[in-house]
A and B are shown apart, each in its own frame.
Chain A
Amino acid sequence: MSILVNKDTKVIVQGFTGKEGSFHAEQCMAYGTKIVGGVTPNKGGTTHLGQPVFNTVQEAVSTTGATVSMIFVPPAFVADAVMEAAEAGIELAVIITEGAPVRDMQMAKAHANKFNMKTIGPNCPGIITAEECKIGIMPGMIFKKGNIGLISKSGTLTYEGANQVCNEGFGISTAVGIGGDPIIGLSYKQLLPMFEADPDTHAIVMIGEIGGDLEIQAAAYIKEHITKPVVAFIAGQTAPAGKRMGHAGAIISGGAGTAAEKMAALEAAGVRVVVSPAEIGKAIAEVMAKR
């Protein structure tokens, strides 16, 4: 078991024949992901990486039966791609592209919601169910199969966290990089219940950062509904207020969205909060020993 994706998930790639799309689609296929085709307008009918290319998502879905789309189109075309996927009946769109305008994402997400399509990202490493299915750009070999679920706004902290978990002798069920933009798809609050319901996930690592209040919402949810142990790290304790720390959404504005307030809320919800990401692995070992 796992959440959202597994070895049977059929995936198409929007922006399949582009440089990034090609490179990462190939890496995903090498990992074992069932990439069943891709979409590049005006290249329909051709074959790429041994898979069919379609002009529209609609054609790709009706021909291949894909349920997930991995999106690599340039930032200005992300909203269009997401909305097309939603209308074509895709169930989950994983948006890797960085730099999509906020207004576009807002419109795209509202449309995705209307069609009950889940989204992950944008500007994220994607989702991986260890040793089964990788949809994104993460280095697959770090993610050994195991019982720890991971949710992170940051790409490299996803790798850091997963690596430490595996070095402690545990492994990953599913890891989801949700991205650090102001508007993102699935967040902690939607993913936590999926991990809670997954019998193969025994504990959860949650990595957040400054800006917004998704971690505070998560804390409230954990307090009421999550019985599995949660280890959390919030990046940006030393970040100056009013500065955007790399990610578009990582900014303390008007004194709100600080690491301190998020850490306090999570601690109050019974989460094991670590001050340094270097302690994620050890904290998982501790909470797993107590289970």
Chain B
Amino acid sequence: MDSQAIVTGHADPHEGHEEHPAYLRHHFVTVEQQRETASFGMWLFLLTEIMFFGGLFMAYLLYRNWYYDAFVASSNTLGIGLGTTNTGVLILSSFTMAMGVYSAETRNRKGLLTSLSLTICLGLVFLGIKTIEYHDKYTEHHIPGASFSVEDFVHPTDKRDVPLAPDMAQHAQLFFFLYFAMTGMHALHMIIGISILFVLLYQAYHGAYIDGHTSTIDNFGLYWHFVDIVWIFLFPLLYLISRHPLK
């Protein structure tokens, strides 16, 4: 330890170092440490994201309990076809992302590029379908706020739907608020993910991630899977409340 007591620095930071890969950051001792640290960091970050979404789930829990009928009716107005398709799309994108990780680990540049591109496409498809769904809500006057109309709930067109009393129908706004807040927050995370994917794609095109340093792709994969899992919770909670058999 004496050598640590008072020291001046070395002129050249690389003098006296063993050989190490270029991607080893200088505050890490080994590549192992760097990789494990990055992974730990990402898991911890995902934990914070769970807490973040947790607040919304808490609000959902409360209001579904208070206004169950309104929640049922509102949930039934969401397009089950589009929702299910989206769920499939996202799960597929998690698969392509996992393939991307595998490609990176097996140093398969082409596979990596293909997987990343597919993931981007599927992500964009998801967002596209979401846009259609949001637009549908807009045209149906289900967006909470000034333009909200209780008509569909007080006088439902589908005979299987139970008409709601006007005050309960007003509470449908709470459902839609939570719908937009939760899927919107999810979509925001998707957009951030897709943006990062573009960056990763660009880097991969120029040869990154297939030299043994797959940390970035691994950890981004974790993030992408997390976003997928959030959707897997959102889908039944929002779309499948006491659903009629296939509409």
Binding partners A and B: no
A interface residues (Cβ-Cβ under 8 A, vs B) = none
